[in-house]
């Protein structure tokens, strides 16, 4: 049985799909495709187990590093599971781009001729790191929100509600 929440599985699937899109190495891309397929199967199993009452879906709350003030229902969050998955995918794409940018800055900072206290590169590095942290928190918030939407959907499903009581 899968121990992850639905949001965690979908989050990992989004990452693997992005890797498929971004990698130029065919072997890495194929490996990511295989992992994405395994996660799709895991998501199908999770859905089946929830639908048949063998599993009770839950929200796996992520760590809070930044208080955005919008963790509560509906404030600044997508309203459907599909919209949330799209937003999560977009967050991963943004994160990938920020990681690429910060790696370039790190390389330039590692060059001893460019390193100096208070340099513009140090400020750029700090700014990028803050953006990465915020992007990661947004990802966590979206994953939690996806779990909430999924749980709400399953609880409102009559068949699920009846079978869950017998587990």
Task: Report the distance separating Cα 167 and Cα 162, nearest Å.
Answer: 10
Per the model's pLDDT, the better-predicted residue between 62 and 115 turns out to be: 62
Phi, psi of 35 (to 5 degrees): -65, -40
Residues 6+ away with beta carbon under 8 Å from 63:
140
The answer to whether residue 77 scores a pLDDT higher than 50 is: yes
Confidence of residue 154 (pLDDT cuts 50, 70, 90): confident
Distances (CA, A) of 45 to 30, 39, 41, 107: 23, 10, 6, 43
Structural domain boundaries in the chain: 6-64+73-164
* 115 Ramachandran zone, left/alpha/beta (phi>0; psi -120 to 50): beta
Using CA of residue 62, residue 75, residue 95, residue 17, what is the dihedral sign?
A: positive
For the chain, the straight-line distance linking the first and the last C-alpha, in angstroms and rounded, comes to 15
Residues 6+ away with beta carbon under 8 Å from 128:
98, 101, 102, 105
Phi, psi of 62 (to 5 degrees): -85, 165
Length of the chain: 167
The answer to whether residue 158 scores a pLDDT higher than 60 is: no
Confidence at residue 76, expressed as pLDDT on a 0 to 100 scale? 80
Average of per-residue pLDDT across 85-103 = 95
Confidence at residue 121, expressed as pLDDT on a 0 to 100 scale? 79
30 alpha-carbon distance from chain centroid: 21
Contact call for residues 140 and 62 (beta carbons, < 8 A)? yes
- pLDDT tens-place string over residues 27-66: 999 999 999 999 999 999 999 999 898 988 888 887 665 5
Confidence at residue 120, expressed as pLDDT on a 0 to 100 scale? 78
- pLDDT tens-place string over residues 121-139: 788 889 999 999 999 999 9
Phi, psi of 53 (to 5 degrees): 80, 10
């Amino acid at each position: 049985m899968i121990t992850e929440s639905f949001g965690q599985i979908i989050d990992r699937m989004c990452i693997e799909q992005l890797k498929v899109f971004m990698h130029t190495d065919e072997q890495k891309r194929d490996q990511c495709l295989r992992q994405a397929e395994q996660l799709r199967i895991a998501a199908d199993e999770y859905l089946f187990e929830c639908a048949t009452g063998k599993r009770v879906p839950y929200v796996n709350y992520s760590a809070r590093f930044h208080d955005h003030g919008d963790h509560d229902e509906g404030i600044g969050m997508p309203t459907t599971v599909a919209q949330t998955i799209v937003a999560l995918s977009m967050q991963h794409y943004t994160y990938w781009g920020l990681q690429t940018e910060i790696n370039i800055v790190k390389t330039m900072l590692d060059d001893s001729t460019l390193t100096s206290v208070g340099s513009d590169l140090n400020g750029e590095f700090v700014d990028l790191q803050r953006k990465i942290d915020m992007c990661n928190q947004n990802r966590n918030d979206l994953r939690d929100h996806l779990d909430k939407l999924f749980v709400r959907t399953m609880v409102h499903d009559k068949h699920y509600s009846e079978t869950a009581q017998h587990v």
